[in-house]
DNA sequence: CATGAATGAGCATTCATTCAT
DNA sequence: CATGAATGAATGCTCATTCAT
C-alpha cells in the first residue's frame, strides 16, 4: 500500500498513480454533489469511476483520506484562480471587489466542486468524532482577509472596525451567495457578486 | 401509535405523551449537537434519554418525523423570543439592530439547539434524496427581512439596494456568527452582534 | 384475563364479551384478507376495529388464539350452510354435486373469509414452528367425503377407486376453484362449480 | 455487487459467484422448507449456509431477488425433467398420464424444493403488497395443459369440456398430492399419481 | 496494481406482549 | 373492562474495510 500520510503533496507518486488519484477524486466530487455526503459510499464512487472498490482502498488509506484529498484539490484550484486575479492590485477596495467577483466567476463553472466542498466541510469528522473542518478551518482565510482590511484601514480607505467580525461576515456572505445559487440555478451569480461587493465596501469605508 | 399528521399541533395528545415527545426531542437535540446528524442514531438518542428504542418509534412515526419536530420546536422557540423583542419597534434601523442582537441573546443560552438546527437543516433529506430544508427553507425569513428593508427604503432610512441579496447576506452573517461562537466558545457573542448590526446598518443606509 | 383454552365453545362468556370477540374476529378476517397474514398485525386489526391493541390481548390469550378462533368461526359457518343444503339427499351423486355447488354458492358472498381462511391455514404455526393446520387439518373432511364415495360404490353408482385419492383431489379442486376466483373476480364461480361437479361425477361413475 | 437485472441468465457471472449463488439458493430452499417462509430470515439462511449475512446481500440485490431465483431454479429443474419425459409422446391420454407421473417421480427426490416452492408462491409479495406469484403465475401452465386437452378433443380421445376448469383442477390435484405426501411421508406417491392419472383420464374421455 | 468476495457492525423499523392506571 | 405506554427482540439492508488471488 502507498499513500501513508502525504496530505496533498505528491512526493513519491508515479504518473499513473497520480492519474488514478485524480480520477477517483473527480468521481468523489461528482457523487457527493449528486447524492450528498451521507449517501456517497465508496461503492458508488467506484461505480461512477468505472473501477472496483478495492482500487480506492489501494490508493487512499481510508475514506477520510480521500475526502481530505478532495478538499485539498478543490481548495487549491480555487486559491490559484483567485490569487491570479488579485495579483498586482493596489487598493484594499479593489482587492475586496476582486475577491468576491473572481471567486464567483470561478465557481460558476465548478458547481459540483462547490457542493462537494460544502458537504465535506460540514460533515467530515475525525476518528474522535469532532468536526474535521468547520468554520475554524477558515482561519487561514480569515487571516488573509484581515490583512486586507488592515491595509485599507491604514491607507485610510476603511474606517475602524472589528476585522475578525468583518472577515467572518464577508466569508459567510460569499458562502451563502453560492448556497443560494446552488439551490436556485437561475439566480444571477455575477450580479449577486457585484451587489455583495457593494455591500461590503459600504460597510467598510469611512 | 399516535402522531398521524398533526404537524406541530398538539390536538389529541395527552399530557404524558406530550412530555415524552418533548423528552425525546430534547435528547435528539443534545445527541445531534454532540455527535452530529450522521451519527445521531435512534439507538443513541434512546440511550441518551434512558428509554428503549421502541419508545421513539411509538411516539414518532419515523426518524424524519422526529427531526422535523426538532426543527419545529427549536424554530418556534426562537421565533417567539425574537418576536417579543421586536414588538413595537418603529424604524427599520431599530428593527435590524434588535433582530441581530435578540437572536444572539437568545441562542447564547441554547447552544445545543443551535447546533442541532444547523445539522438537520444541512443534512435532512426527503425520501427522494433532495434536501428537506436547505437555504430555500429560509424563504419565509428572507421575505420578512425584505419587508423590513422595503420599509427602511420607503422611509428614507435606507438607500436603494437589492433586497434579496441583502437578506441572504444578513441571514448568513448571523448564522456565521453563531457558527464561529460554537467553534470558539470564548468568542464574545454580544459584541459580535453589536458589531454586525453596525455593518448591516452601514451597508443599508444612504 | 379470561378465555383460557375454550377453543370455540362459549361456555362462561358474557354477552358483551362474546360480542367483542366476534367484532375482533371480523376485523381480523378483513385485515388478513386485505393485507395478508404476514402483515396482519394486532395493531392493524385493532385499528380496523376501532379499538386499542390491549383489547385484543385481553380477550384472546395470544395472537395465535385469535387466529384459531377465526378459523373455527369461519369453518363452522361454512359447515352449517353446506350441511343444510345436503340434508335429505339420497344418492352419492346428488351429494357430490350439491357439496361442490353449495360451498361455491356460500363462499361467493364471503370472499374475505375465504381468503383469510387460506392465509391462516397456510401460515399459522404452533410454538414449535410446525404448521398448525395444513392439509392434515382436512382429515375430518376427507373422512366425510370418503363415506359418501363408499356409499356410492356400495349403491353401484360409482366404480371402485381409491377413496383417499379421490377425497384429496375433490377437496383440492374446490380450493383451487376458489383461489382462481379470488385472483380473477370476473371468473364465473357457479359455472365452474357445475363443470367441476361434472368432472368429479365422471371420474367416479362406472 | 453483481446481479443487476439478468434474471435467470448467467451472462457475466464468474464460476465462483455462480457457486455462491447456488449455495445460497440451496440454503434458502432448505431453511424455507424447514421453518416456513415467514421465519426464513436472511440471518437464518446465512447461518445455515455457514456464511455471514452480508454475503447474501452481496450476491443478491434483495431478499425478494433471492426468492425469485429460488423459484426460477426449482421451476426450471422440474420443467427439464418433465419435458424430457414427455418428448415424443403422441396421444393426449399418454401426455396426461406421463405428466402426472413424471412430476411425481421427480419431486419424490426433491421434497424440500417442493415445500419451498409452495411457501414462496403463496407468500411472496411485491413492494405494493400484491402477491408476486399466486395462482395467476400458473397461467403458462394452464395454457400448456389446455393445449393438450384441445389436442385430445380434436383427436376424438376426449369429450368436450371446459378446458380452463380442467386445467385448474388437474393442476391443483397434483399440488394436493404433493401436499398430502409432504404431510404424510409414508403416503405412496407413485400409487397416488397413477390413481390420479386414472381420475383425470376418466373425467376427460368420451 | 487491481479485483471480487467476504465480513461484521450498525441502521431504522415492526411487532407481540406486558403492565400500571 | 379498556387504554396507552413501553419493551426488547428480530428483520432486511448498507457500508467501510480486509484480503487472497
Whether A8 has a pLDDT exceeding 70, the answer reads no
Which of these, A115, A131, A132, A123, lies nearest to A29 by C-alpha position? A115
Query: In whole angstroms, what is the distance from residue C159 CA to residue C56 CA?
Result: 52
Using the structure, give the distance in angstroms from the CA atom of D52 to the C1' atom of E8, rounded to a whole number.
8
User: What residues contact C43, with CB distance under 8 A and at least 6 apart?
Assistant: B1, C53
Q: At what angle do helices B163-183 and B111-123 cross, to 10 degrees?
A: 120
Is residue A30 domain-resident? no
Cell of C96: 357430490
Q: For strand E, is any atom closer than 7 Å to the CB of B58?
A: yes
Residues 155-174 of B with CB under 7 A from strand E: none
Whether C2 has a pLDDT exceeding 70, the answer reads no
Is residue C81 domain-resident? yes
Cell of A136: 475554524
Cell of A113: 466542486
Which of these, C134, C205, C125, C123, lies nearest to C171 by C-alpha position? C134
Per the CB < 8 Å rule, is C172 touching D175?
yes
- A142: phi > 0 → left, psi -120 to 50 → alpha, else beta; which? alpha
The single residue listed with the C-alpha cell 386485505 is C34
Residues from chain D contacting residue C176 (CB–CB below 8 Å): 135, 168-169, 171-172, 175
D69-127 pLDDT per residue, tens: 999 999 999 999 999 999 999 999 999 999 999 999 999 999 999 999 999 999 999 98
Is residue C23 domain-resident? no
Query: In whole angstroms, what is the distance from residue D42 CA to residue B108 CA?
Result: 50
Q: For strand F, is any atom closer than 7 Å to the CB of C13?
A: no
Identify the pLDDT of residue A44: 93
Is residue A144 domain-resident? yes
Q: How far apart are the first and last CA of chain D?
A: 58
Alpha-carbon distances, residue C81 vs A193, B166, C166, D23 (angstroms): 83, 80, 23, 50
Whether C4 has a pLDDT exceeding 50, the answer reads no
Cell of A80: 490559484
Q: For strand F, is any atom closer than 7 Å to the CB of B2?
A: yes
Residue C128 binned pLDDT confidence (cut-offs 50, 70, 90): confident
A139-196 pLDDT per residue, tens: 999 999 999 999 999 999 999 999 999 999 999 999 999 999 999 999 999 999 999 9
- C62: phi > 0 → left, psi -120 to 50 → alpha, else beta; which? beta
Domain that holds residue D182: 64-204
Is residue D129 domain-resident? yes
Identify the pLDDT of residue C25: 94
pLDDT along chain B (206 residues), means of 10: 41 78 95 94 94 93 94 94 92 94 94 95 92 90 95 95 97 96 94 95 92
Q: For strand F, is any atom closer than 7 Å to the CB of C54?
A: yes
Q: What is the mean pLDDT of residues D192-202?
A: 95
Alpha-carbon distances, residue A125 vs A14, A39, B31, C10, D87 (angstroms): 30, 15, 15, 65, 67
Is residue B37 domain-resident? yes
Identify the pLDDT of residue A206: 83
**What phi and psi, each to the nearest 5 degrees, are found at residue B158?**
-110, 155
Whether C97 has a pLDDT exceeding 60, the answer reads yes
Which of these, B156, B46, B37, lies nearest to B91 by C-alpha position? B156
Residue A12 binned pLDDT confidence (cut-offs 50, 70, 90): low
Identify the pLDDT of residue A19: 86
Query: In whole angstroms, what is the distance from residue B79 CA to residue B52 CA?
Result: 32
Give the residue with greater pLDDT, D138 vs B1. Answer: D138
Residue D29 binned pLDDT confidence (cut-offs 50, 70, 90): very high
* H-run or E-run covering D26: helix D15-35
Which of these, D168, D146, D173, D165, lies nearest to D92 by C-alpha position? D146
Residue-level length of chain C: 206
Which of these, C205, C190, C159, lies nearest to D165 by C-alpha position? C190
Query: In whole angstroms, what is the distance from residue D82 CA to residue D148 CA?
Result: 14
Question: Across all residues in chain D, what is the average pLDDT?
Answer: 91
Contact indicator for C33, C111 with CB cutoff of 8 Å: yes
Identify the pLDDT of residue C1: 39
Q: What is the mean pLDDT of residues C37-53?
A: 92
Identify the pLDDT of residue C17: 79
Identify the pLDDT of residue C9: 44
B50: how many CB neighbours lie within 10 A of its CB?
9
Whether A93 has a pLDDT exceeding 50, the answer reads yes
**CATH code for position C78:** 1.10.357.10
C29-44 pLDDT per residue, tens: 999 999 999 999 999 9
Residue D52 binned pLDDT confidence (cut-offs 50, 70, 90): very high
Is residue B7 domain-resident? no
Whether D134 has a pLDDT exceeding 60, the answer reads yes
Is residue C184 domain-resident? yes
Among A178-187, C14-23, C99-108, D89-98, the range scoring the smallest mean pLDDT is: C14-23
- Nucleotide nearest to A16 in CA–C1' terms: E1
Read out DSSP for D102-154? HHHHHHTT-HHHHHHHHHHHHH-B-TTSSBSSSGGGGHHHHHHHHHHHHHHHH
What proportion of chain D, given as a percentage, has pLDDT over 90?
85
Q: How many structural domains does chain A have?
A: 1
Half-sphere exposure of D131 toward its Cβ, with a 13 Å CA cutoff?
A: 22
Whether A203 has a pLDDT exceeding 90, the answer reads yes
What proportion of chain C, given as a percentage, has pLDDT over 90?
78
Query: In whole angstroms, what is the distance from residue A178 CA to residue C199 CA?
Result: 78
**Which residues in C have their CB inside 8 Å of a CB on D?**
35-39, 122-123, 125, 129, 131, 134-136, 161-162, 165-166, 168-169, 171-173, 175-177, 179-180, 182-184, 191-192, 195-196, 198-200, 202-203
Query: In whole angstroms, what is the distance from residue A132 CA to residue A89 CA?
Result: 34
Amino acid at each position: 500500500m502507498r499513500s501513508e500520510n502525504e496530505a496533498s503533496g505528491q512526493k513519491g507518486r508515479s504518473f499513473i498513480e497520480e492519474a488514478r488519484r485524480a480520477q477517483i477524486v473527480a468521481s468523489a466530487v461528482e457523487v457527493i454533489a449528486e447524492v450528498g455526503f451521507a449517501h456517497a459510499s465508496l461503492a458508488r464512487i467506484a461505480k461512477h469511476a468505472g473501477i472496483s472498490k478495492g482500487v480506492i482502498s489501494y490508493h487512499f488509506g481510508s475514506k477520510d483520506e480521500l475526502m481530505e484529498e478532495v478538499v485539498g484539490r478543490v481548495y487549491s484550484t480555487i486559491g490559484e484562480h483567485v490569487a491570479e486575479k488579485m495579483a498586482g492590485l493596489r487598493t484594499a477596495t479593489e482587492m475586496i471587489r476582486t475577491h468576491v467577483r473572481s471567486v464567483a466567476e470561478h465557481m460558476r463553472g465548478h458547481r459540483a466542486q462547490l457542493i462537494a466542498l460544502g458537504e465535506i466541510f460540514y460533515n467530515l469528522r475525525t476518528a474522535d468524532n469532532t468536526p474535521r473542518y468547520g468554520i475554524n478551518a477558515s482561519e487561514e482565510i480569515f487571516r488573509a482577509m484581515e490583512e486586507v482590511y488592515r491595509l485599507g484601514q491604514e491607507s485610510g480607505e476603511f474606517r475602524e472596525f472589528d476585522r475578525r467580525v468583518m472577515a467572518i461576515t464577508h466569508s459567510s456572505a460569499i458562502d451563502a451567495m453560492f448556497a443560494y445559487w446552488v439551490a436556485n440555478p437561475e439566480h444571477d451569480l455575477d450580479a449577486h457578486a457585484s451587489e455583495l461587493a457593494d455591500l461590503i465596501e459600504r460597510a467598510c469605508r469611512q
